[in-house]
Amino acid sequence: MNLKLKIWRQKDPNSRGKFVNYLLNDISTDSSFLEMLDVLNEELISKGEEPVIYDHDCREGICGACGLYINGRPHGPDSLITVCQLHMRHFNDGDEITIEPWRAKAFPILRDLMVDRSAFERIQQAGGFITVRAGSAPDANAIAIPTETLEHSMDFAECIGCGACVASCPNGAAMLFVGAKISHLGLLPQGQPERAKRARQMVAAMEREAFGACTNFRSCEAVCPKEISISGIARMNKDYRRAMFAGAAAPNGKKR
Ligand code: SF4
Ligand code: FES
């Protein structure tokens, strides 16, 4: 198939970017979207031009590095997959494809299609972990967890930190991501000792970054490649409220 690509090019975080058009011929419908970009880059390098910089790592939908806007949609036209899992059979011969980086204040563009998502890492470092004694191998099943609880936790553990939720949100909010991280650990018995501290510290870290606030658009949930539910945001808010008001009397005089 032959394609017309319209790609955002930006030299560095401080330069003004712009769209540049490229014509690309003879792309196999079996190739992945990133392989298509690889072919473009080989052509650019052979002509002595700068290749298009884009992020990727695992190329199998688990690391979250490859996020892009494709024709105005995070991760492209297919649902529940990341860009690296998108194949060219979803496009037609002669199509024009617009490719942009995530657009969010908290994710500054480093170059071309690559953004800095280290704000997510700082939130994670603030409390997205559990503390365990790792001196010796624990007995198998030392802490029994009901299957239902485990699966509920796993639903949130699937978040790969790709950032599509932030990029799609009109407010640039990171609540789906942070809600997933807090819910994943907060549902497990191993996550209980630090549950309140985790909610307090991760929400505080989120607020220190340039993310906006949630106003229930739910675009995050619609574009998430891992089907993370906004119920994680409700869990995060509940844990945060408990952590901030623990011990304080409720208006009805009862303990919260
Ligand atoms: S919640 Fe979904 S869209 Fe947001 S970072 Fe996690 S996997 Fe990506
Ligand atoms: S490259 Fe890892 S999720 Fe796409």
* Confidence (pLDDT) at 132: 81
Position 248 scores a pLDDT of: 55
From 63, 102, 159, 182, mutation site for ligand 1 pocket: most ligand atoms within 8 A of C-beta: 159
Atom of ligand 2 nearest to the CA of 84: 4
Interval between CA 67 and ligand 2 midpoint (Å): 8
Q: Can you tell me the distance from the alpha carbon of 210 to that of 184, in angstroms, rounded to the nearest whole number?
A: 24
The pLDDT of residue 246: 75
Residue 155: partners with Cβ closer than 8 Å, 6 or more residues away: 227, 228, 229
What pLDDT shows up at residue 166? 98
Please choose from 58, 70, 224 the residue to mutate so as to test ligand 2's pocket, defined by most ligand atoms within 8 A of CB. Answer: 58
**Is 191 in contact with 185 (CB distance < 8 Å)?**
yes
Taking Cα atoms as reference points, which of 107, 19, 96, 1 lies closest to residue 55?
107
Structure token digits, residue 83: 């860009």
Does the Cβ of 232 fall within 6 Å of ligand 1? no
**81 within ligand 2 shell (Cβ under 6 A):** no
Per-residue pLDDT of the chain (256 residues; tens, 9 = 90+): 999 999 999 999 999 999 999 999 999 999 999 999 999 999 999 999 999 999 999 999 999 999 999 999 999 999 999 999 999 999 999 999 999 999 999 999 999 999 999 999 999 999 999 988 777 776 667 788 999 999 999 999 999 999 999 999 999 999 999 999 999 999 999 999 999 999 999 999 999 999 999 999 999 999 999 999 999 999 999 999 999 987 555 555 554 4
Q: How far is the CA of 140 from the centre of ligand 2 (A)?
A: 32
Burial of 148 (0-12, 13-18, 19+ CB in 10 A): exposed
Q: What value does the CA radius of gyration of the chain take, rounded to a whole number of Å?
A: 21
pLDDT at 20: 98
Q: Which ligand has the minimum distance to the alpha carbon of residue 37?
A: 2
148 three-class SS = helix
Ligand 1 atom with minimal separation from the 161 CA: 5
- Our answer on whether the CB atom of 65 is closer than 6 Å to any ligand 2 atom is yes
Cα 6 to chain centroid distance, Å, stands at 24
What does the pLDDT read at residue 35? Answer: 98
For CA atoms 15, 18, 23, 28, the dihedral sign is positive
d(CA 206, CA 248): 24
pTM of model > 0.75:
yes
CA nearest ligand 1 atom 1, residue: 177
pLDDT of residue 174: 98
